[in-house]
């Protein structure tokens, strides 16, 4: 399984590559953004560690390009710790965010956790959720309402998958943030709120009288399926 490590610091990329090999990965190394994007397209890694501050193209730009046609998990790594940069990285499609200095063991633990979330802990996770006229397909990240395909971002899809896969169950903003963004000790509930707002707006373009994403004030959100009368 390939893991792409993109960092202009050769010592850091070498250490991460060593830890990745111990975990059974085949590390692919890139030292600038353009090389990272080229190697991503060539080697099709299962997951990517992406430094923000790189020459030629920065990590944000690389992530934006990748997200145009790929949902491969991306963990962004940076020496900066400002909240607005973390939020921007997550909002453009990163799955997690780690600030230097870090423990290589922690990085690999994050990698394993993200890959477990994607594949399902027991490998038997159902790949399609069908609720009334809504179909959510994890295999190809498509969502349809009736005969209409709904274009969602990766994070919007993952929010819908988690909510619809647990219909009528209430999730707090903190649980959604931790499970979707995978960073339990950093995060702002506004990130969840803004994604839910955009998700609802896209879903509401098509009729769905018997289900909705409901706000539970003071708690969080749930995917509510109404009973037939």
Rounded average pLDDT over 65-88? 80
- Closest by CA to 128, choosing from 118, 136, 120, is 136
Provide the whole-model pTM: 0.58
Quick check: 75 and 110 in contact, CB under 8 A?
yes
Q: Which residues have a Cβ under 8 Å from the Cβ of 167 and sit 6 or more positions away? A: 131, 211, 222, 223, 224, 225
pLDDT tier at 83, thresholds 50, 70, 90? low
Most confident region among 50-64, 104-118, 128-142 by mean pLDDT:
50-64
Query: Over the Cα atoms of the chain, what is R_g?
Result: 18
Where do the domains of the chain lie, and which CATH numbers do they carry? 2-119 (3.40.50.2300), 128-225 (1.10.10.10)
């Amino acid at each position: 399984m390939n893991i792409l490590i993109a960092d202009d610091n050769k010592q850091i990329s070498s250490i991460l590559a060593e830890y990745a090999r111990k975990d059974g990965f085949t590390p692919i190394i890139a030292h600038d953004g353009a090389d990272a994007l080229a190697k991503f397209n060539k080697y099709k890694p299962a997951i990517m560690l992406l430094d923000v501050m790189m020459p030629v193209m920065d990590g944000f730009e690389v992530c934006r390009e990748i997200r145009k046609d790929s949902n491969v998990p991306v963990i962004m790594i940076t020496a900066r710790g400002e909240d607005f940069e973390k939020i921007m990285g997550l909002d453009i499609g990163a799955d997690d965010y780690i600030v230097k200095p870090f423990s290589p063991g922690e990085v690999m633990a994050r990698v394993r956790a993200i890959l477990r979330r994607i594949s399902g802990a027991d490998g038997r996770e159902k790949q399609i959720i069908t609720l009334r006229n809504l179909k959510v397909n994890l295999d190809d990240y498509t969502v349809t309402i009736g005969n209409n395909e709904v274009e969602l971002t990766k994070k919007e899809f993952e929010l819908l998958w988690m909510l619809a896969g647990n219909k009528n169950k209430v999730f707090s903003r903190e649980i959604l943030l931790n499970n979707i963004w995978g960073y339990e000790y950093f995060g702002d509930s506004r990130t969840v709120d803004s994604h839910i707002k955009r998700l609802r707006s896209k879903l509401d373009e098509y009729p769905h009288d018997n289900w909705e994403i409901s706000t539970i004030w003071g708690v969080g959100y749930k995917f509510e399926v109404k009973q037939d009368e």
